[in-house]
Structure 1
Amino acid sequence: MFDVTPLLFLQGLRSPFWNSFFRGVSVVGSDLFYLVVLVIWYLAFSKREGIYLSLVLFTSLFLNFAVKSLVAVPRPYLHPMLQAISEAEGFSFPSGHAQSTATFFFSLALLYKKRPVWVLAFLMVGLVSFSRLYLGVHYVEDVLAGALLGAGFAFAAFYLKGKLEGNEVNIVFWWKVAVAAGVALSLFLFCWDDLSARVGGAISGALLGWFLEGNAENLAWKSLFDRIVFLGLALLSVLACFLVLRGVFPEGREFLFLRYAIVVFWVVFGIPVLTRHLRRKLAGGS
């Protein structure tokens, strides 16, 4: 178990082209990549799907980090003969990149139920998983376990979604806020490193923002140009929010949690509410 031999074989096949290629592929499994994708999905396409994919993905990642900390398998590049060509945080087993990719793309395939989306899901999980082996940051067992856990989590979340939608219950607004606040406090107290703080903050901000916003209608646009301009301004506001908070908050796990919670809350609650308000003002003034 946790044999470094396959990684040493791949190390012998490395070249500058494939090094760059698999570094690029590996970006697809990062939390920052999915944060940007989900911001665009939520604001420009479907708020319901965006919030669902966000909560499923980041909850899956939070559990991944918990398992990593409990199992505490060192990274393979600690082996004297293996050289990694990429940086990686935390422990090795299971692979967070493989799990996040499987969670996201299989959730997408379950939502759309189209053959091309299923093909894309298997392709992306395979490519991202292989990239982690090629780069020397994971064992074979890591990516297999991560991919299986991610796929299993996607199917379980989709099954639960179907059960909840079939038995919809009207929950009082303040109960929703209380639940969101309780989840946020629990995640805040149980964050044990920077990885869990970032993801725990993202879950908290998304959940609280969704319950407070209370409007599942998508933002409508008159043209593709309007949608693109809006997205550009929205992403700039997210970047500005992130940079300001990084400058204001001191270093520390607790402040990292708050930073991500506020940024995601701004995306889920602040931007849609501000957009609707500005639209009403402009419509009233014209």
Structure 2
Amino acid sequence: MSRGLGEIEFVAGLPDPVVVATALVTALGDVWFVFLLLGTLYWFGTALPSPVSLSRRHAAFAIALAFGGLAATTALKETFRLPRPPGAAEPAGAGLIPELLLPLYAEIGASSGFGFPSGHAVSAVVVYGGLALLVGSTRGYAVGAVLCAVIPLSRIVLGVHYLVDVLAGVALGAAYLGLVYRLCGRGSNPGRAMMIALIVAVVGAGLSYTTDTMLALGGALGARMAWGSIGGAVVHEPVTRLGGALGAAVGLGFAGLFAVVYIVDPAPYLAFIGIFVVIWGVLAAPLAGESLARTI
């Protein structure tokens, strides 16, 4: 029995240019984009200009939120195992895309696997809603609210989720964000947020041994262990723009490994090991960057 209310049939009639533009919006909730965004905020810290600058402590908290949201999403998808709308694996609006760019567009504009709840909806709320809370400005709240709305809606326009999937994802993301933000000192305790993400990831891995659940578990475990070991040093490390740039260079090296893990779809245990190593490198990168900056 379909979960749809006619929304998929409605969006199927939208012009292709609208659909293609929507794919650009949905990319803001993709794992690879969130990884680069949060990594950049963490590596540079307060060296970035306002209003996008965050302390590295707060950026680490945002990273913890992202892993927690991912873990919760994979756990629930494996629990309900509900299919996506028909045709979700075929990118809508592909007729406007040059053949050379079709694989990239298909990666962004199409989806496979289980559909409930929407991972992009969860990610939009926990990441962009979380960043809005951490920035704490009127502009930040406004931008966060817009992204929390348009990214989930883009999934319906692309025909990869039903409305109920998106609403469930928004509700799950809001509940998770509110709970973790309150329990973790309003963003001041990333270690505790990482522990909560780890607990959720363990539950997901217990439900199903898949690449996605192992990615969530490896990332959450790596983040908690890395922050427990070097978090204090990162927080007390002086922040410079040069150190941030050098740290970003180090972190992007590990991002290359993440790209391999993300694209290749390896065996679950390899996904676990790969993301575990990656997150250690990402979180340690500022220490390497600032250390190198002092020698120049």
TM over 0.5: same fold?
yes
Amino acid at match of 2:28: V
- Please tell me whether the aligned partners of residues 261 and 271 of structure 2 are also in contact (alpha carbons under 8 angstroms): no
Q: Which has the larger radius of gyration?
A: 1
Q: Distance in 2 between matches of 1:101 and 1:258?
A: 26
Partner of 1:14: 15
Q: 1:147 aligns with which of 158, 164, 170?
A: 170
Q: Distance in 1 between matches of 2:186 and 2:142?
A: 26
Amino acid at match of 2:288: L
Q: Report SS of the residue matched to 1:197.
A: helix
After the TM superposition, which residues 1-286 of structure 1 pair with which residues of structure 2 at under 5 Å, given as runs? 2-15=3-16, 17-45=17-45, 46-77=55-86, 85=92, 86-162=109-185, 186=202, 190=206, 192-213=209-230, 214-215=232-233, 216-221=235-240, 224=241, 226=242, 229-230=245-246, 233-242=249-258, 251-269=266-284, 271-279=285-293, 282=295
CA RMSD of superposed structures (Å): 3.4
Name the TM-score, length of structure 1 as normaliser: 0.79
- Please tell me whether the aligned partners of residues 129 and 144 of structure 2 are also in contact (alpha carbons under 8 angstroms): yes
Q: Distance in 2 between matches of 1:184 and 1:95?
A: 17
Q: Report deviation, 1:235.
A: 4.4
Q: Distance in 2 between matches of 1:252 and 1:192?
A: 10
Q: Report deviation, 1:238.
A: 2.1
Q: Report deviation, 1:130.
A: 1.2
Amino acid at match of 1:264: I
Q: Distance in 2 between matches of 1:233 and 1:157?
A: 31
Q: Distance in 1 between matches of 2:225 and 2:150?
A: 34
Q: Report deviation, 1:12.
A: 0.5
Aligned residues: 262
Amino acid at match of 2:69: S
Bigger Cα displacement from structure 2, 82-91 vs 67-76: 82-91
- Please tell me whether the aligned partners of residues 238 and 266 of structure 1 are also in contact (alpha carbons under 8 angstroms): yes
Q: Distance in 2 between matches of 1:63 and 1:98?
A: 12
Structure 1 segments unaligned to the other structure (5+ residues): none
Q: Report SS of the residue matched to 1:28.
A: helix
Alpha-carbon spacing, 1:21–1:228, altered in 2? closer, same or farther (3 Å): farther
- Please tell me whether the aligned partners of residues 183 and 204 of structure 1 are also in contact (alpha carbons under 8 angstroms): no
CA displacement 1:3-24 (0-9 Å, x = unmatched): 2511111110132x22221111
Q: Distance in 2 between matches of 1:118 and 1:242?
A: 30
Amino acid at match of 1:136: G
Bigger Cα displacement from structure 2, 232-241 vs 92-101: 232-241
CA displacement 1:168-192 (0-9 Å, x = unmatched): 9xx9xxxx9xx89x96994796362
